[in-house]
Amino acid sequence: MPAIALVAAGARLGLSLGKTFGARGFEVALIARSRERLDDLTGKLGAAGVTAAGFPADVADRPALAAALDSAAGRFGRIDVLHYSAPAAGSGETARGTGTLEVTVDNLQPQMESICYGAVTATRAVLPAMLAAGTGTLLYTTGASSVTPVPVFASAGMAGAALRRWILALNKALADKGIYAGHVAIGTWIAGTPGAPEGVSPKEPDDIARLYWDLHASRERAEHLISA
Protein backbone atom coordinates (compact mmCIF):
# COMPACT_ATOMS: atom_id res chain seq x y z
CA MET A 1 0.00 0.00 0.00
CA PRO A 2 1.17 3.58 -0.59
CA ALA A 3 2.15 5.65 2.43
CA ILE A 4 2.07 9.33 3.31
CA ALA A 5 4.33 10.91 5.93
CA LEU A 6 2.78 13.86 7.76
CA VAL A 7 5.52 15.92 9.40
CA ALA A 8 4.50 18.42 12.10
CA ALA A 9 0.90 18.68 10.87
CA GLY A 10 -1.43 20.33 13.37
CA ALA A 11 -3.91 18.09 15.17
CA ARG A 12 -6.96 19.12 13.14
CA LEU A 13 -5.40 19.30 9.69
CA GLY A 14 -3.22 16.25 10.39
CA LEU A 15 -6.26 14.17 11.27
CA SER A 16 -8.13 15.33 8.16
CA LEU A 17 -5.13 14.68 5.91
CA GLY A 18 -4.72 11.22 7.40
CA LYS A 19 -8.38 10.41 6.85
CA THR A 20 -8.44 11.89 3.33
CA PHE A 21 -5.43 9.96 2.09
CA GLY A 22 -6.29 6.91 4.20
CA ALA A 23 -9.72 6.67 2.59
CA ARG A 24 -7.92 6.41 -0.74
CA GLY A 25 -5.75 3.48 0.27
CA PHE A 26 -2.81 5.21 1.99
CA GLU A 27 -1.14 4.19 5.23
CA VAL A 28 -0.08 7.13 7.41
CA ALA A 29 3.21 7.91 9.15
CA LEU A 30 2.92 10.73 11.67
CA ILE A 31 5.99 12.66 12.79
CA ALA A 32 5.81 15.24 15.57
CA ARG A 33 7.62 16.22 18.73
CA SER A 34 4.83 15.20 21.12
CA ARG A 35 4.35 11.49 21.74
CA GLU A 36 0.98 12.28 23.32
CA ARG A 37 -0.22 13.99 20.14
CA LEU A 38 1.07 11.13 18.00
CA ASP A 39 -0.76 8.58 20.14
CA ASP A 40 -3.96 10.61 19.97
CA LEU A 41 -3.84 10.95 16.17
CA THR A 42 -2.91 7.32 15.51
CA GLY A 43 -5.77 6.24 17.76
CA LYS A 44 -8.29 8.45 15.96
CA LEU A 45 -7.07 7.33 12.54
CA GLY A 46 -7.18 3.70 13.63
CA ALA A 47 -10.77 4.17 14.77
CA ALA A 48 -11.52 5.50 11.27
CA GLY A 49 -10.03 2.38 9.70
CA VAL A 50 -6.73 3.98 8.67
CA THR A 51 -3.44 2.24 9.40
CA ALA A 52 -1.15 4.76 11.09
CA ALA A 53 1.98 4.85 13.21
CA GLY A 54 3.76 7.66 15.05
CA PHE A 55 7.46 8.51 15.00
CA PRO A 56 8.53 11.20 17.50
CA ALA A 57 11.03 13.82 16.34
CA ASP A 58 11.61 17.56 16.65
CA VAL A 59 11.86 19.12 13.17
CA ALA A 60 14.67 21.37 14.40
CA ASP A 61 16.72 18.26 15.29
CA ARG A 62 17.87 17.31 11.79
CA PRO A 63 19.39 13.89 12.60
CA ALA A 64 16.31 12.88 14.62
CA LEU A 65 13.95 14.03 11.85
CA ALA A 66 15.85 12.11 9.18
CA ALA A 67 15.96 9.01 11.43
CA ALA A 68 12.20 9.21 12.05
CA LEU A 69 11.50 9.34 8.32
CA ASP A 70 13.87 6.42 7.74
CA SER A 71 11.98 4.46 10.40
CA ALA A 72 8.67 5.36 8.77
CA ALA A 73 9.95 4.17 5.39
CA GLY A 74 11.09 0.94 6.98
CA ARG A 75 7.72 0.44 8.65
CA PHE A 76 5.64 1.10 5.53
CA GLY A 77 8.04 0.03 2.77
CA ARG A 78 8.58 3.52 1.39
CA ILE A 79 7.14 7.03 1.57
CA ASP A 80 5.11 7.88 -1.52
CA VAL A 81 3.89 11.29 -0.34
CA LEU A 82 5.57 13.71 2.06
CA HIS A 83 3.66 16.54 3.69
CA TYR A 84 5.73 19.04 5.67
CA SER A 85 3.81 21.61 7.67
CA ALA A 86 6.34 24.35 8.37
CA PRO A 87 5.90 25.22 12.06
CA ALA A 88 7.04 28.58 13.41
CA ALA A 89 9.59 28.24 16.20
CA GLY A 90 8.50 29.20 19.70
CA SER A 91 5.02 30.22 20.72
CA GLY A 92 2.50 31.93 18.49
CA GLU A 93 3.08 35.13 20.45
CA THR A 94 6.83 34.87 19.84
CA ALA A 95 6.36 34.50 16.09
CA ARG A 96 3.73 37.25 15.97
CA GLY A 97 5.82 39.60 18.08
CA THR A 98 8.88 39.66 15.82
CA GLY A 99 8.06 42.62 13.61
CA THR A 100 10.02 43.80 10.61
CA LEU A 101 12.14 46.23 12.62
CA GLU A 102 12.84 43.63 15.32
CA VAL A 103 14.37 40.98 13.03
CA THR A 104 17.87 39.93 14.02
CA VAL A 105 20.08 37.04 13.02
CA ASP A 106 19.39 35.50 16.45
CA ASN A 107 15.58 35.51 16.20
CA LEU A 108 15.57 34.62 12.50
CA GLN A 109 17.76 31.54 12.92
CA PRO A 110 15.19 29.44 14.88
CA GLN A 111 12.54 30.18 12.25
CA MET A 112 14.89 29.10 9.47
CA GLU A 113 15.70 25.90 11.36
CA SER A 114 12.07 24.95 11.92
CA ILE A 115 10.36 26.23 8.78
CA CYS A 116 13.01 25.95 6.09
CA TYR A 117 15.83 23.66 7.17
CA GLY A 118 13.41 21.11 8.60
CA ALA A 119 11.64 20.93 5.24
CA VAL A 120 14.93 20.48 3.40
CA THR A 121 15.97 17.73 5.84
CA ALA A 122 12.66 15.89 5.45
CA THR A 123 12.84 16.17 1.67
CA ARG A 124 16.40 14.86 1.53
CA ALA A 125 15.32 11.86 3.63
CA VAL A 126 12.60 10.70 1.22
CA LEU A 127 13.74 12.01 -2.17
CA PRO A 128 16.34 9.34 -3.08
CA ALA A 129 13.73 6.55 -2.92
CA MET A 130 11.28 8.64 -4.93
CA LEU A 131 13.91 9.29 -7.59
CA ALA A 132 14.73 5.58 -7.74
CA ALA A 133 11.04 4.73 -8.12
CA GLY A 134 10.42 7.52 -10.64
CA THR A 135 7.36 8.75 -8.75
CA GLY A 136 6.39 10.67 -5.63
CA THR A 137 4.70 13.75 -4.22
CA LEU A 138 6.16 16.45 -1.98
CA LEU A 139 3.65 18.79 -0.32
CA TYR A 140 4.49 21.72 1.92
CA THR A 141 2.40 24.09 4.04
CA THR A 142 3.36 27.58 5.16
CA GLY A 143 1.50 30.60 6.43
CA ALA A 144 0.35 33.25 3.99
CA SER A 145 3.18 35.55 5.12
CA SER A 146 5.49 33.44 2.92
CA VAL A 147 3.65 34.93 -0.09
CA THR A 148 2.24 38.25 1.12
CA PRO A 149 4.45 40.18 3.58
CA VAL A 150 2.92 40.61 7.03
CA PRO A 151 5.03 42.97 9.19
CA VAL A 152 4.17 41.28 12.51
CA PHE A 153 5.27 37.87 11.19
CA ALA A 154 8.50 39.12 9.66
CA SER A 155 10.96 36.41 10.73
CA ALA A 156 8.56 33.50 10.15
CA GLY A 157 7.54 35.05 6.83
CA MET A 158 11.16 35.37 5.72
CA ALA A 159 11.82 31.71 6.46
CA GLY A 160 8.58 30.68 4.76
CA ALA A 161 9.41 32.78 1.71
CA ALA A 162 12.79 31.07 1.40
CA LEU A 163 11.10 27.68 1.61
CA ARG A 164 8.46 28.72 -0.95
CA ARG A 165 11.05 29.77 -3.51
CA TRP A 166 12.82 26.44 -3.11
CA ILE A 167 9.57 24.47 -3.47
CA LEU A 168 8.70 26.22 -6.73
CA ALA A 169 12.20 25.58 -8.06
CA LEU A 170 11.99 21.98 -6.83
CA ASN A 171 8.78 21.42 -8.76
CA LYS A 172 10.50 22.52 -11.97
CA ALA A 173 13.65 20.51 -11.28
CA LEU A 174 11.67 17.31 -10.64
CA ALA A 175 9.05 17.71 -13.37
CA ASP A 176 10.74 15.28 -15.76
CA LYS A 177 11.54 12.78 -12.99
CA GLY A 178 7.98 11.78 -12.11
CA ILE A 179 7.93 13.74 -8.84
CA TYR A 180 5.57 16.61 -8.05
CA ALA A 181 6.26 19.34 -5.48
CA GLY A 182 3.44 21.63 -4.35
CA HIS A 183 3.11 24.53 -1.91
CA VAL A 184 0.00 25.56 0.04
CA ALA A 185 -0.01 28.88 1.93
CA ILE A 186 -2.78 29.03 4.51
CA GLY A 187 -3.94 32.58 5.20
CA THR A 188 -6.96 31.87 7.37
CA TRP A 189 -7.96 30.05 10.54
CA ILE A 190 -8.75 26.36 10.54
CA ALA A 191 -12.11 25.56 12.14
CA GLY A 192 -11.68 24.57 15.78
CA THR A 193 -8.50 26.62 16.21
CA PRO A 194 -8.93 29.31 18.88
CA GLY A 195 -8.27 32.98 18.19
CA ALA A 196 -10.08 33.56 14.89
CA PRO A 197 -10.74 37.32 14.46
CA GLU A 198 -14.29 38.58 14.28
CA GLY A 199 -15.66 38.45 10.75
CA VAL A 200 -13.36 35.63 9.61
CA SER A 201 -15.03 32.37 8.66
CA PRO A 202 -12.62 29.53 9.49
CA LYS A 203 -12.08 26.85 6.86
CA GLU A 204 -13.03 23.27 7.64
CA PRO A 205 -9.95 21.02 7.86
CA ASP A 206 -11.62 18.32 5.73
CA ASP A 207 -12.09 20.85 2.91
CA ILE A 208 -8.44 21.90 3.14
CA ALA A 209 -7.30 18.27 3.18
CA ARG A 210 -9.20 17.56 -0.03
CA LEU A 211 -7.23 20.37 -1.69
CA TYR A 212 -3.98 18.53 -0.90
CA TRP A 213 -5.41 15.36 -2.40
CA ASP A 214 -6.39 17.27 -5.54
CA LEU A 215 -2.88 18.71 -5.85
CA HIS A 216 -1.37 15.24 -5.43
CA ALA A 217 -3.75 13.65 -7.92
CA SER A 218 -3.79 16.35 -10.61
CA ARG A 219 -0.28 17.83 -10.32
CA GLU A 220 -1.63 20.82 -12.23
CA ARG A 221 -0.58 23.62 -9.91
CA ALA A 222 2.63 24.16 -7.99
CA GLU A 223 1.05 26.57 -5.52
CA HIS A 224 -2.26 27.38 -3.88
CA LEU A 225 -3.14 30.21 -1.47
CA ILE A 226 -6.03 29.68 0.95
CA SER A 227 -7.26 33.13 1.96
CA ALA A 228 -9.76 34.23 4.59
pLDDT of res. 196: 65
C-alpha 155/C-alpha 207 separation (Å) is 29
Q: In this predicted structure, what is the pLDDT of residue 189?
A: 82
Q: Which residues of the chain have pLDDT under 50?
A: none
- Smallest Cα–Cα separation from 128: which of 54, 55, 78? 78
Burial classification of residue 1, based on how many CB atoms lie within 10 Å of its CB (0-12 exposed, 13-18 middle, 19 or more buried): exposed
pLDDT of residue 188: 87
Instruction: Quote the pLDDT of residue 150.
Output: 85
Q: What is the pLDDT of residue 191?
A: 85
Confidence (pTM): 0.94
- Report all structural domains of the chain as residue ranges with CATH numbers, in order of start: 3-227 (3.40.50.720)
The C-alpha angle with vertex 142 and arms to 47 and 170, in degrees rounded to 5, equals 105
